[in-house]
Amino acid sequence: MWVRFPPSAPNYMPSTKKQIEKLLGKAGVKINGPEFFDMQVFNENLYSCILSSGSLGLGESYMSGWWDVPKLDQFFYKVLSANLDKEFSFSPGIILAYLKSLIFNLQSIHRAFIVGKKHYDIGNDLYELMLGKTLAYSCGYWDKANNLDDAQKAKFDLICRKIKLKKGDNILDIGCGWGGFLKFVAENYGAKGVGITVSKEQVEFAKEFCKNLPIEIKMGDYRTISGKFDYIISVGMFEHVGLKNCRTFMLKTKELLKDNGLLLLHTIGANESSLISDPWLNKYIFPNGKLPSIAQISKSVEGLFVVEDLHNFGVSYDKTLMAWFENFDKNWPILKNKYSEKFYRIWKYYLLSCAGAFRARKIQLWQFVLSKNGEVGGYKSVR
């Protein structure tokens, strides 16, 4: 077993084990218990690590092989449903992150490309095998779908129907990823469009993916875009905007949108307003990311847009993440020739912990439809 000791891990003390046992007991989880959601502990320094570092210590100790669970997604579902995450609100790492968020704009134009390099550029081979044919790295719409590809196509079509897309319309996709949505609208709706991303690898792939279609793919930050568009969509990108820039995002999209156009914003959201993200996810998966709350989004929209529609289908993200993990796990024999065992544990932890969080309804998936001046006669919701 691959084991790495976090340098800050305190020595094991029996009293710390009792504290963790008591906490887990609130969720019905046992240490070294027989159930598929019970934590199996291989290094008892784990307990002090969790108590001192909270979610960061929990994740890093998992990376180190100090513990495991047969069904990691269900472990997180039970732990988060019992609100155990609130037991570690004031760890040193969280306090430091809070201060940084107050002082710095962690998602400035110059810092916007960090997540592209550290997350989206790690390898198109990984994403092709994990995400399926659509290359959509956002929540699918499983209302009538039975598999990942159908759920993602249903999500694409849902967006098109919500904005009432027509042949010849010009659409801007902020955070276009590998170009899957723009390819869909060009082939199925006869629309044309521009996609922008902060990922070099996504640009190269999307240009080839959308070859011979009326689609233009650009690398850049949303704050640098110019032009006018019939519709603007942003799917799974607003989580990278940051609270200091939410208003800027809304001002920019209003500038780019034609007067009778619509903005569709698809974003993961938090149930409560806060200034910081989960320390482990911030360090290992999405640097400088931040999930907004309804209140924070509403504040950024106020006076700029009319909220025509709000649709929550966060339960679909549980299914989407489980499908991604199934693909990732199934294709690991191919991927392990390039990626390490540590990488496998990081991504397993990431995908399954997030699935558990959506299952516990701790985080949501929202689609907003916004208009500049209000739809004449009212907007008819589409599902």
Would you call 140 helix, strand, or coil by DSSP? coil
Q: What type of residue sits at position 136?
A: A
Q: And the tokens for 293?
A: 């709350």
Nearest of 243, 105, 240, 83 to residue 174 by alpha carbon: 240
Tokens 């904005």 sit at which residue? 163
246 catalytic? Reply is no
Q: How many CB atoms lie within 10 A of CB 214?
A: 15
Rounded Cα distance between 185 and 210, Å, is: 11
Candidate list 49, 160, 246, 354, residue with the active-site label = 354
Rounded Cα distance between 204 and 217, Å, is: 9
Query: Could you say which DSSP state residue 109 is in?
Result: T
DSSP 40-66: EES-TTHHHHHHHHHHHHHHHHHHTTS
**Per-residue CA distances from 25 to 33, 104, 120, 127, 185 (Å):** 11, 39, 38, 37, 50
Cα angle, residue 294 at apex, residues 299 and 274 outer, rounded to 5°: 85
Angle, helices 341-359/72-81, rounded to nearest 10 degrees? 40
Cα angle, residue 95 at apex, residues 108 and 63 outer, rounded to 5°: 85
Q: How many CB atoms lie within 10 A of CB 150?
A: 16
Would you call 312 helix, strand, or coil by DSSP? strand
**Could you tell me which residues come within 8 angstroms of residue 105 by beta carbon, excluding any fewer than 6 positions away?**
111, 242, 244, 245
DSSP strands (E only) in 52-161? 67-68
Catalytic annotation, residues: 354
